[in-house]
Amino acid sequence: MARSQTEDGDNTNPSWFTPKRLLVMFCLINMLNYVDRGVIASNGVNGSLGTCTETGVCTAGTGIQGDFNLNYFQDGILSSAFMVGLLVASPIFASFAKSYSPFRLIGVGLSVWTFATAGCGASFDFWSISIFRMLVGVGEASFISLAAPFIDDNAPVAQKTAWLSVFYMCIPTGIALGYVYGGVVRLCFKH
């Protein structure tokens, strides 16, 4: 797989996309996806509502909840909005994989994910950030539904389980890094 052949049957230079390099690339992408989830879930980024006391002294809210003045219901919707996009788009991407290159579908999905993540950063109200979080789920759907089968198809037979375990180990690692990064963001904006 790592070498391409010409029509004469001669081997040309090896391709950059060897199975091991693809595994590393997929692991980094998987971790980045879950860092995003961890950051949004962390208290540092999620924040809190502003409060007012009986004496009329009010404190400003912090984080996403304070910046967008979200009530607890809206905050709950926002925290899981990407699941709507993920659940709707995963079977669609999986069915498209029968007709289109899974690698290209992953590229399309990651392009949507990149656009949607940038859109979250540029959001100005609850509805805009909710829509972009749903699009984050759509972008993630292609990767989540197609990367593991791609790894399974391209891993050496004796190492399939090890490769998939490394890929899935990136999930808790990414979430943990997201929480840490969320705390760092909180510290940076607090001062």
Q: Quote the number of domains for the chain.
A: 1
Q: Is residue 93 part of a domain?
A: yes
Q: Is 31 exposed, middle or buried (0-12, 13-18, 19+ CB in 10 A)?
A: buried
pLDDT at 175 over 50: yes
Torsion of CA 19, 22, 23, 26, to 10 degrees: -160
Do residues 38 and 184 touch, judged by C-beta distance below 8 A?
Answer: no
Q: Is residue 55 part of a domain?
A: no
Q: Is residue 91 part of a domain?
A: yes
pLDDT at 189: 65
Q: What is the CATH number of the domain that holds 112?
A: 1.20.1250.20
Domain that holds residue 26: 17-42+73-173
pLDDT at 67: 83
Do residues 10 and 150 touch, judged by C-beta distance below 8 A?
Answer: no
Q: Is residue 35 part of a domain?
A: yes
Q: Is residue 47 part of a domain?
A: no
What's the pLDDT tens digit per position in 87-127?
999 999 999 999 999 989 999 999 999 999 999 989 999 99
Calculate the average pLDDT of the chain.
Answer: 86
**pTM score, two decimals?**
0.80
pLDDT at 18: 86
